[in-house]
Amino acid sequence: MLSEQFISSIRAQPRTANTAIAKDIGIYIHTLHPSPKIESNFKKSSTAVNALAANSTHIFAAQADKAVVHIYSRERGNQEALISFPERLHTLTLVGDDLLVLGTAEGRVILWEVCTGRQVSTSAAHLQPVSCMASTSTHIITGSEDSNLHVWSNPQLLSLHTNTNEPHEPIRTLSKHRAAITSVVMGHSSSTSNICISASKDNSVIVWNYHTGDLLRTFLLPSTPL
């Protein structure tokens, strides 16, 4: 029988009594089909929006207002590791199963190879915290509270032949929004016409060709998109 699951997390424990929520639990795995229920949970985590990622074996949770990521084993049902980083983290995403991409409060992007522990850090290209990210196997797009989106090349960032004394820079900037970026998603095409869609507190959603930087369409909304 087919089943469907999703993972949710909370930033802080609820202030009001609720018998359905156990103390210290911050991450929940929900089964949606065939019968709705909470399949499992993980303790000692407090995550902000866009700060949770998962693959088939592990869950990665950037802790709110801290420079650490908690790693949980889905098989064992416990916390497996705590990884420290040099800056406070605001958001994260996974590229495949073994590359964790993190956005910092200082506007920097950190790539962490899960298997080797290698870290690659970019310049502080954003003027304010990184608020959201999306990725494919070849590109990363970061959105920030500074209203800009940066496009990064994965092969360039991870190249062992890159001069480590020179800061990594984005290959393109998308800058038509007028307020903080709240969300960004990327299409699934492998062609050079692949798109991304960004949402902003300026009450707009923009469709881009991120390979060229062209703005394809703008949607104006009656309220701020999440």
Q: Looking at residue 190, what is its pLDDT?
A: 74
Q: Six-digit token pair at 139?
A: 């590109």
Task: Please name each of the domains of the chain with its CATH number.
Answer: 85-220 (2.130.10.10)
Q: Looking at residue 16, what is its pLDDT?
A: 53
Rounded-to-integer distance, Cα 1 and Cα 31, Å: 13
pLDDT beneath 70, residues of the chain: 1, 13-23, 162-165
Q: In what order do the strands lie in the sheet with 58-63?
A: 47-54, 58-63, 68-73, 78-84
Rounded-to-integer distance, Cα 213 and Cα 211, Å: 6
Report CA-CA distances (Å) from 57 to 18, 29, 77, 104, 116: 30, 13, 10, 25, 17
